Chains A and B, each alone.
Chain A
Amino acid sequence: MSNGELKVSKIRNGTVIDHITAGMAPAVLKILGIDQGCPDTVIVAMNVRSQRLGLKDMVKVENRVLEAETVKKIAIVAPHATVNIIKDFAVVQKIPVELPHELIGIVRCANRNCITNVERVASYFVVESREPLRLRCHYCETLIEGPYASVLLL
């Protein structure tokens, strides 16, 4: 630590997820499936000062490239996040994190009597609003709002 700046090690190859909504890094780790069995280096920073967000979280994972479905899930818990793919310490690709208009098989419907929880049918939500987050089930029309959606991630 010098000049009051936060120093976080760089990673050689992997993914940096920056500008995560403050406090949501654990939810991002859960989406990435990172637990005690993870063999690679994972760096987590929480409540870091950010010009854009005030405070932010950040996650760096070595040897991991995110799939499109994973990025959609991250968009639910951290709509302002940026995903950078790193090779040999350099950013080689920036993946925009943006919620699509429809989410299929990403979030479970909260209504236990929804057809998607009764028959073998993929969940299907229409994004009515990105901020604040509002998802409506295409089938049973149940509305899911805000952080509750992160609890329902499949």
Chain B
Amino acid sequence: MGGGIVQGPKLDWHGKDIISIRDLSREHIEDVLYHAQQIRPDPSLLQGRVMASLFFEPSTRTQLSFATAMQRLGGRVIGFSGTEGTSIAKGESLQDTVRTVEKYADIIVMRHPVEGSARLVADTVSIPVINAGDGANQHPTQTLMDLFTIKKFHQRLDDLNIGFVGDLKYGRTVHSLAIALTRFRKIQLRLISPANLRMPPSVLQELTGTVSYSETDQLDLSDLDVVYVTRIQKERFPDIEEYEKVKGAYVITPKVCEMLKPNAILLHPLPRVDEIVPEVDALPQAKYFDQVQNGVPVRMALLKLLLLGA
């Protein structure tokens, strides 16, 4: 950790859920990052607490990272991954499922393929809920770990030049991160994508105040402090030739990285396929595996804050 993250005003997290990055103020984000930096494994901290891990669709990294976070703080994990053999497969409503789960657990972590499901669950139960992804909508803990990674390497979240590369239309990680960055000052976004995968107008409309942005289809990474790469998916294109042509224009190679500043950081929400070639992994700017590792302290901090209140 570089310059460190200073604690801001003490916030009360009692009764709070983590559903959408839109719910989090700058103070809330900074409080999570501060606790993520401070937290260490402590098997007594959440001893006796139970986390229900409800993964209606499987997710390797997010599920394992939440389970690891809970266990490092001494808590236990119950739950399922996929709905085969559960009461949901028999047609039980989501609300009935979680009303049952809240009798067993102290906190719910849920991934669900339907947008808005996490908010519905949070409105239904009285225990805290963390959204681990609701369809194409929100995945706020991913955004918090992205911000934690940026803060860790640049010691600041203000005054940054940030480039988003790839699929900016469907990629929820870049939408959430862009919205989160509106909480900070002097952010310049360079939105690098093919014309058919540009950031949706509904997101651009929210980039007001201290965030300014420019759009381009040129893979120009010069002068950026952060480069956030996302995967361009084949199914987004009507014909395969167009996909192949476009995909090739946004591949990060060691040659492309020559235009990076020495202290720039290269991030990716993972899994990557071929948008960053493996030879880039050895470059000092490649930080995507640090980013994924940061998922555990960020989630430990959230579990602690929501279950203990501060």
Could you tell me which A residues sit within 8 Å of B by CB distance?
A: 109, 111, 113-116, 118-121, 137-143
Contact = CB atoms under 8 A, between A and B. Distances in A.
B93 A139 contact: no
A94 B280 CA distance: 70
Interface in B115-156: 115-117, 119-120, 134-138
A111 B120 contact: no
Contacts of A115: 94, 114-117, 119-120
A120 B93 contact: yes
Given A111-B115, A114-B116, A115-B114, A141 B136 contact: no
B115 A119 contact: no
Given A113-B136, A119-B93, A120-B93, A137 B202 contact: no
Contacts of B93: 119-120
Interface string B61-103: 0000000000000000000000000000000011100000000
Contacts of A138: 116, 119
Given A111-B115, A139-B115, A119 B135 contact: no
A121 B22 CA distance: 22
Interface string B37-71: 00000000000000000000000000000000000
Contacts of B20: 141
Contact of B202 (A109, A118, A119, A143): A143
Interface string B152-195: 00000000000000000000000000000000000000000000
Given A113-B114, A113-B136, A114-B114, A139 B202 contact: no
B202 A116 contact: no
- The residue in B22, B114, B116 that gathers the most chain A C-beta atoms within 10 A of its C-beta is B116
Interface size class, chain B: 10 to 19
Contacts of B94: 115, 119
A152 B196 CA distance: 27
Contacts, number: 51
A140 B115 CA distance: 5
Interface of B: 20, 22, 93-95, 113-117, 119-120, 134-138, 202, 205
Nearest to B115: A140
A139 B22 CA distance: 12
A109 B135 CA distance: 15
Contacts of A140: 115-116, 119, 134-135, 137
Interface centre among A115, A118, A138, A139 (most CB of B within 10 A): A115
Contacts of A109: 116
Nearest to A145: B202
Closest 5 CB pairs of A and B: A139-B116, A140-B116, A140-B115, A115-B116, A143-B202
A105 to B, nearest CB: 15
Contacts of B114: 113-115, 118-119
A114 B202 contact: no
Nearest to B134: A140
Interface centre among A116, A118, A143 (most CB of B within 10 A): A118
B120 A141 contact: no
Contacts of A141: 20, 22, 115-116, 137-138
A113 B115 contact: yes
A121 B115 contact: no
B140 to A, nearest CB: 12
B135 A113 contact: yes
B138 to A, nearest CB: 7
B158 to A, nearest CB: 26
